[in-house]
Amino acid sequence: MPEIRRLHLARLTVAGAEWPVHGFVITHDRGALLVDTGVGGPDAMLTDWRVVNRSVAEALAEIGMSPADIGMVINTHLHFDHCGQNAVFRHAPCYVQRAELDRARREEPELYDWFGFASARFELIDGDAEIAPGVRVIATPGHTAGHQSVVVSGAAGESDVLIGDAAYTMAQFGGPPDEELPPGQAADPVAWRDSLRRVRDLSARVHFCHDTAVAHG
């Protein structure tokens, strides 16, 4: 049965408020994978967001692991606070939506040069896919064109969703669908609302990248 452990990877400032940045380790029958690698990128970008950063290796050490224990990486999307330390896992394939890699190349070439290092091993996904036993990704576009969430299924039929930035916080996830969106939440508001409904319909526990809470479906 897969197990989920949260990593605290950074803090950043959004509209004057301090937000945590989390990644998640999922252990499964064939090893361990990491969902989102934390913050990294050009110095100017980190300064703009007032990032208080830490290494993903340090965060893994707190749970008795090292980067070598991670056999796969899943990026929910390719913003600097979710893929910024991908290079730590040069040995591991990185699962990302094809639409998201295309978007990053087009919209954020400077950041793409940061995480698209010469030996990067991208496994490109088109839509929903199983990644490991009990672990699958589902397409949840809206925040970005190629955003995906990660669904972890338990032996008793229960499930958890690592929602990435499909919703920043538990309050937003549970709020009315027509509420005003915070800046940066949705590149495509219509697709974002459709994706949020899709996650809600799973009736799963929801884990957030920028909130310490867990929403229970």
Average pLDDT of the segment spanning 95-117 = 87
In our burial notation (b when 16+ CB lie closer than 10 A, e otherwise), range 122-152 reads: beebeeeeebbebbbbbbbbbbbbbbbbbbb
**Amino acid (1-letter code) at residue 194:** D
Q: How many residues does this entry show for the chain?
A: 217
Least confident of 19-28, 65-74, 167-176, 194-203: 167-176
User: Can you tell me which residue has the tokens 């970005």?
Assistant: 144
Tell me what the pLDDT averaged over the chain comes to.
89
pLDDT-above-90 percentage for the chain: 64
pLDDT at 17 over 90: no
Q: What is the pLDDT of residue 100?
A: 96
Q: What is the pLDDT of residue 48?
A: 58
Confidence band for 16, pLDDT divided at 50, 70 and 90? confident
- Tell me which CATH homologous superfamily contains domain 3-215: Ribonuclease Z/Hydroxyacylglutathione hydrolase-like (3.60.15.10)
Ordered by start, the domain boundaries in the chain are 3-215
